[in-house]
Amino acid sequence: MEITEARIKLMKHPGDRLKAFCSITFDNAFVIRDLKIIEGSKGIFVAMPSRKITDHCIKCGGKNSVQSKFCCECGAKLDSNRGEKNINGRVKLYADIAHPINSQTRDRIQQKVLQSYKEELERSKQPGYKPTDIEDHPSEFQEI
C-alpha cells in the first residue's frame, strides 16, 4: 500500500505539545483521519487516532471514562481500581482506532507524515498562507 496523500492541519499555538492533526490517504482510496503530531520528551512523533476507554456504572449503567471518579449519570462514586492496566501497571485510558501492525509500516507512516508536517510548516511562513482543510477529500460519489 502506498501513502498517496498526507494533509496537515497546524495548531494555532505552536508552543503546545500537540503540533498538528493529520489525515492520510492510502492508494487514493482509503483515508485515516485524526492522527496527531505531538512533541514528546524524546522528540516529535505521530500518534494514531484513538478513543477514550469507558465502562458502565454498576448502579445505573451510565457510560463513564475509566478515569472518572463519579458517574456522570447518577453521581455514584466509582471504583478507582477499575479498567485494564498496561504493562507499567497504569490504567489504560485510550484505545487505538486504527494502527499499523508492524514497525516497518509505522516507520513509513511516521516518515511521510513528518515530512508533510515540515513542508506545511514552511508553507505557513509564506505570505497569504491558507491552512489545509484536512476534512475536504474528493469523492467519486456526488449527491443529487
Domain ranges of the chain: 1-49+97-134, 51-96
Q: Say how far apart CA 127 and CA 46 lie, in whole Å.
A: 28
pTM score: 0.76
The contacts of residue 95 (CB under 8 Å, 6+ apart) are 50, 51, 53
Who contacts 63 (Cβ-Cβ below 8 Å, separation ≥6)?
Answer: 54, 55, 56, 57, 73
pLDDT tens digits, one per residue of 45-85: 999 999 999 999 999 999 999 989 999 999 999 988 888 88
Q: What is the pLDDT of residues 86-113, one digit of tens each?
A: 888 888 888 889 999 999 999 999 999 9
**Domain 1-49+97-134: CATH superfamily, name plus number:** Stage V sporulation protein G (3.30.1120.40)
Q: How far is CA 47 from the centre of its chain?
A: 6
- Asked if residue 18 lies in contact with residue 10, where contact means CB atoms within 8 angstroms, the answer is no
